[in-house]
C-alpha cells in the first residue's frame, strides 16, 4: 500500500493539482478583496449608499444576512469571469502555437549498408 501511495503522490498530475489548489487559494483571496474592497462599495454607491454586508432580515430570533449572500454571488461570478478570460487567452495562445508551420525534420540517417556502400564507392574513386 505504501508503494502505491508513493506512486500516486509522485505522479505529475497530483503535483500539478496541488500547485493549482494553492494558487487558486491565493487567487481567491485577491478576487475576494477586489469584490469586498472595490466592487461592492462601488455597486453600493450606485444603489444609493447600500452596503451589502449590512443587508439583513430578522426572522424570529434568527438574523438572515442576505447581503453576505449577494456578495458571495458577486464574488463567484467575478472568479468565474476571470477564469473564463484566462482559459480563453490560453486557448488562443495554444491555437496560435498549433498554427505555426512545423519546422522541417532533419533528413533521416541513411541505413548502415548505404553508408558502407558510399565509403566503398569513395575509396574506389580515389
Domains held by the chain: number: 1
Domain span at residue 91 reads 2-125
The alpha carbon of 5 is separated from its chain's Cα centroid by a whole number of angstroms, namely 26
Please check the confidence at residue 51 and state whether its pLDDT lies above 70: no
Q: Which three cell numbers stand for residue 42?
A: 462601488
Whole-prediction pTM value? 0.50
CATH, residue 65: 1.10.1200.120
Band (pLDDT 50/70/90 cuts) for residue 10 is: confident
Could you tell me whether strands 62-64 and 57-59 are parallel, antiparallel, or unpaired per DSSP bridges? antiparallel
pLDDT, residue 12, reads 65
pLDDT tier at 111 (50, 70, 90 boundaries)? confident
Amino acid at each position: 500500500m505504501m508503494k502505491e501511495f508513493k506512486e500516486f503522490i509522485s505522479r505529475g498530475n497530483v503535483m500539478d493539482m496541488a500547485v493549482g489548489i494553492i494558487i487558486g487559494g491565493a487567487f481567491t483571496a485577491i478576487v475576494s478583496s477586489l469584490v469586498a474592497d472595490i466592487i461592492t462599495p462601488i455597486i453600493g454607491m450606485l444603489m444609493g449608499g447600500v452596503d451589502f454586508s449590512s443587508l439583513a432580515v430578522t426572522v424570529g430570533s434568527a438574523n438572515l444576512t442576505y447581503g453576505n449572500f449577494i456578495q458571495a454571488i458577486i464574488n463567484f461570478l467575478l472568479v468565474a469571469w476571470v477564469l473564463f478570460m484566462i482559459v480563453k487567452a490560453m486557448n488562443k495562445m495554444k491555437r496560435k502555437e498549433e498554427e505555426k508551420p512545423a519546422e522541417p525534420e532533419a533528413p533521416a540517417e541513411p541505413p548502415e549498408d548505404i553508408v558502407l556502400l558510399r565509403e566503398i564507392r569513395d575509396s574506389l574513386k580515389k
